[in-house]
């Protein structure tokens, strides 16, 4: 039976992350308006807050699974701000790929580096199998050529897991992933992207021009060459089975902040949200707000479901896409709905609601757009292949 009831220890964890998030929120506007600055790895107030991760000590089998509690902690952090953290942990999406598909030797060598993931290209967005960046084996080296855009953590990262094709005619089977460290000749960080939202989160464009890396930097090792093995398209795609629900959790943390702010503003205006009254006893305004709350709850349950399946060693590919698709659309509707309920107050830069509206937009875009997630879900339910249902 699926049970998301939290233990006392886990409630303490979530309360601690919320306290940190409130401090981080006080820096949110500054870094939104000064996107050329990177938020510090540790806020000055960190000395007054014990590390949340130290509270993990003593967790037992009776406590919530790591996947589920990680989703709740992620949402708790972004309830404060998307980009600012009390303490910024090391690691990026590339580290998840390394854990999922790297050989033991690769994991040992690269584990202490922050790794970005470079997939998207100027002519290749939501279909990663269409990447044009090439990798050609030349003796004991791979030679990379191509461009990548919208690389999350691209400026801060120490290196990157870059997707490239070793055989364009092979389609997905020809897509492999390669570990490339910053400073490698031919690896150029072209520029930092300017964006609508998550402005303080660094996003970069990369260029690879005759970039030579050791043969051993093929993620997953040599067995990834003849087939779509651990280092191939399928192997690294498994990374998304937990990162896609996490992306939804990021957006839902922000959406919850928007709901909390809107509820407080309604209360100050003398509008109480009465959860005991029936439909006929509520104003249209309150009914609309309650619908947004219900949308949040439904989306969060899809995230926790996907994480619970992972915690119990069950397949969750479809559920991960459901969480991503539902979360991405829900957070847009929630933040926009809150703005519409509050009117001019919702778009005022004196408050963070308009920023939250801009920030959540990314959660329906990266790591596979909502449209792509719906294709994945439909293929699974209807039993179609990617070539049969596009």
**Pick from 253, 248, 390: nearest CA to 321:** 248
Written as one string, the DSSP assignment of 265-322 is HHHHTT----TTS-GGGS-HHHHHHHHHHHHHHHHHHHHHHHHHHHHTT---HHHHHH
Q: Which two tokens stand for residue 164?
A: 């490239």
Residue 170, CA distances (Å) to 119, 177, 231, 238 in order? 18, 15, 15, 20
Q: Given this model, what pLDDT does residue 59 score? A: 79
Residue 22, CA distances (Å) to 16, 19, 85, 327 in order? 10, 5, 10, 23
Distance from C-alpha of 163 to C-alpha of 133, rounded to nearest angstrom: 7
Distance from C-alpha of 208 to C-alpha of 206, rounded to nearest angstrom: 7
What percentage of the chain reaches a pLDDT higher than 70? 94
- Structure confidence at residue 230 as a pLDDT band (50, 70, 90): very low
- Please count the other Cβ atoms lying within 10 Å of the Cβ belonging to residue 238: 15
98: left (phi over 0), alpha (psi -120 to 50) or beta: alpha
Name the residue with higher pLDDT: 227 or 213.
213
Q: Given this model, what pLDDT does residue 90 score? A: 83
DSSP three-state, residue 159: strand
- Kindly report, residue by residue over 347-359, the tens digit of the pLDDT: 999 999 999 999 9
Distance from C-alpha of 155 to C-alpha of 168, rounded to nearest angstrom: 29
What value does the mean pLDDT take over residues 148-163? 95
- Please count the other Cβ atoms lying within 10 Å of the Cβ belonging to residue 372: 17
Is 5 one of the annotated active-site residues of the chain?
Answer: no
Catalytic-labelled residue, pool 121, 193, 256, 367:
367
With beta carbons less than 8 A apart as the criterion, state whether 180 and 160 touch. Answer: yes
Q: Is the pTM higher than 0.85?
A: yes
Distance from C-alpha of 39 to C-alpha of 86, rounded to nearest angstrom: 10
- Structure confidence at residue 227 as a pLDDT band (50, 70, 90): very low
Strands 203-214 and 187-192, by their bridges, are: antiparallel
- Structure confidence at residue 233 as a pLDDT band (50, 70, 90): low
Q: Given this model, what pLDDT does residue 234 score? A: 63
Distance from C-alpha of 257 to C-alpha of 252, rounded to nearest angstrom: 9
Strands 115-118 and 159-165, by their bridges, are: parallel
Distance from C-alpha of 299 to C-alpha of 304, rounded to nearest angstrom: 9
What value does the mean pLDDT take over residues 308-313? 94
- Structure confidence at residue 45 as a pLDDT band (50, 70, 90): very high
Q: Given this model, what pLDDT does residue 228 score? A: 40
Q: Which two tokens stand for residue 341?
A: 């309920």
- Residue ranges of domains in the chain, CATH in brackets: 8-78 (no CATH), 93-228 (2.40.110.10), 240-382 (1.20.140.10)
- Structure confidence at residue 226 as a pLDDT band (50, 70, 90): very low
Q: Given this model, what pLDDT does residue 235 score? A: 59
Q: Which two tokens stand for residue 5?
A: 């009831």
Residue 111, CA distances (Å) to 135, 139, 161, 204, 218 in order? 23, 27, 13, 22, 15
Question: Up-side HSE of residue 209: CA atoms within 13 Å toward CB?
Answer: 6
Minimum mean pLDDT range among 228-242, 274-288, 338-352, 363-377: 228-242
What are the backbone dihedrals phi and psi of residue 190, each rounded to the nearest 5 degrees, phi first?
-70, -50
Question: What sign has the CA pseudo-torsion 319, 321, 327, 330?
Answer: negative
Tokens 């886990």, located at residue: 10
């Amino acid at each position: 039976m699926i049970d998301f009831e939290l233990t006392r220890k886990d409630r303490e964890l979530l309360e601690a992350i919320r306290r940190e998030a409130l401090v981080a929120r006080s820096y949110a506007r500054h870094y939104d308006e000064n996107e050329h600055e990177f938020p510090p790895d540790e806020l000055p107030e960190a000395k007054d807050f014990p590390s949340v991760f130290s509270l993990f000590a003593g967790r037992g089998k009776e406590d919530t699974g790591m996947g589920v509690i990680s989703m709740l902690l992620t949402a708790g952090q972004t309830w404060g701000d998307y980009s600012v953290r009390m303490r910024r942990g090391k690691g990026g999406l590339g580290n998840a790929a390394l854990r999922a598909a790297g050989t033991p030797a690769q994991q040992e060598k690269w584990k202490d580096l922050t790794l970005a993931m470079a997939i998207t290209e100027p002519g290749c967005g939501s279909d990663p199998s269409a990447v044009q960046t090439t990798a050609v084996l030349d003796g004991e080296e791979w030679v990379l050529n191509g461009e990548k855009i919208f690389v999350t953590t691209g400026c801060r990262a120490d290196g990157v897991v870059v997707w490239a094709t070793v055989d364009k005619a092979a389609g997905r089977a020809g897509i492999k992933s390669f570990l490339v460290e910053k400073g490698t000749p031919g690896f150029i960080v072209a520029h930092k992207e300017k964006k609508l939202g998550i402005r303080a989160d660094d996003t970069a464009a990369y260029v690879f021009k005759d970039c030579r890396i050791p043969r051993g930097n093929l993620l997953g090792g040599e067995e990834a060459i003849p087939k779509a093995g651990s280092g191939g398209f399928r192997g690294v795609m498994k990374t998304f089975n937990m990162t896609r629900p996490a992306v939804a959790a990021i957006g839902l943390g922000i959406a919850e902040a928007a709901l909390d702010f809107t509820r407080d503003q309604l209360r100050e205006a003398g509008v109480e949200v009465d959860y005991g009254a029936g439909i006929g006893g509520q104003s249209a305004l309150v009914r609309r707000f309650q619908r947004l709350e219900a949308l949040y709850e439904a989306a969060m349950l899809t995230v926790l479901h996907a994480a619970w399946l992972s915690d119990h060693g069950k397949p969750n590919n479809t559920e991960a896409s459901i969480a991503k698709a539902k979360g991405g659309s829900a957070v847009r509707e929630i933040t926009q709905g809150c703005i519409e309920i509050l009117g001019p107050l919702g778009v005022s830069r004196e408050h963070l609601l308009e920023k939250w509206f801009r920030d959540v937009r990314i959660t329906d875009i990266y790591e596979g757009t909502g449209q792509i997630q719906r294709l994945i879900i439909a293929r699974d339910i209807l039993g179609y292949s990617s070539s049969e249902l596009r």
